[in-house]
Amino acid sequence: MIAIAFVTTAHLFAAAKDEAVQRFLALPDPTPKQVRALRHLEAHNDKFDSAAWMDVWTESDRDGFRYDVIGEGGSEYIRTHVLRAALKSEADLWRAGTPERAGFTSENYQFDEVTQRPDGLLSVAVKPRKKDVLSIDGAIFLSPDDGDLVRLEGRMTKAPSFWTRRVDVIRWFRRVSGFRMPVAVESVANVLVAGRSTFRMSYEYESIDGRHIGDPQPQRRLTQLR
């Protein structure tokens, strides 16, 4: 009887896992052709107790990714080597046509254990099929109502540079005008010589595919990073 109960429980768990994953994968995830957003970037280094912020208008379309810095403050070194470097890296990825490698698809990821969290979200363990600077080894968190992606947490499977030994990432998402869009990203990196460094970027959308979304205003300040 115990063996039968164990097998039945295992089958039920496998079915629940498959249902949660398939529900998520079945959701439409189109890529917008044109996006204009205001982003606020911040970074802080613990060892040197230095920080910086930046407000940036960004645009992406068939011609690529462009950005215009409209306000900045704090450490010049961090602004140059962290904040502007992050924007330049994104522009380089667009030119290389590689953003699709970050998508949570069955081609890019293996979906494993599914658990229900106290906050109601479904946690799905994910493991990338290949090591890539855009791949995350960790978990995605899905809405119990519609199965859509709310958040991801994990570690980058490939360091973005020789100087960065480890990067832990959290990204938040929500539907905007029918598109699954990022709204914030946080990372904690262990940087050679410099030690622990934190980074945060938030997004406010002005337009997507020509549709007006909002009228974001620059923050022009440094908030408290955790």
Confidence of residue 193 (pLDDT cuts 50, 70, 90): low
Question: Does residue 10 surpass a pLDDT of 80?
Answer: no
Residue pair 207/213 in contact by the 8 Å Cβ criterion: yes
Question: Does residue 158 surpass a pLDDT of 90?
Answer: no
Residues 150, 154: Cα–Cα separation, whole Å: 14
| 2-212: CATH architecture | Clam (2.50)
Q: How many CB atoms lie within 10 A of CB 121?
A: 16
CA 100 from chain center: how many Å? Answer: 13
Q: Which residue has the higher pLDDT, 215 or 19?
A: 215
Residues 131, 103: Cα–Cα separation, whole Å: 14
Q: Structure pTM?
A: 0.86
Residue pair 21/127 in contact by the 8 Å Cβ criterion: no
Map out the domains of the chain as residue ranges.
Answer: 2-212
Model confidence pLDDT, tens digit, residues 58-114? 999 988 999 999 999 999 989 988 899 889 988 988 887 766 666 888 889 999 989
Question: What's the mean pLDDT when you consider all of the chain?
Answer: 86
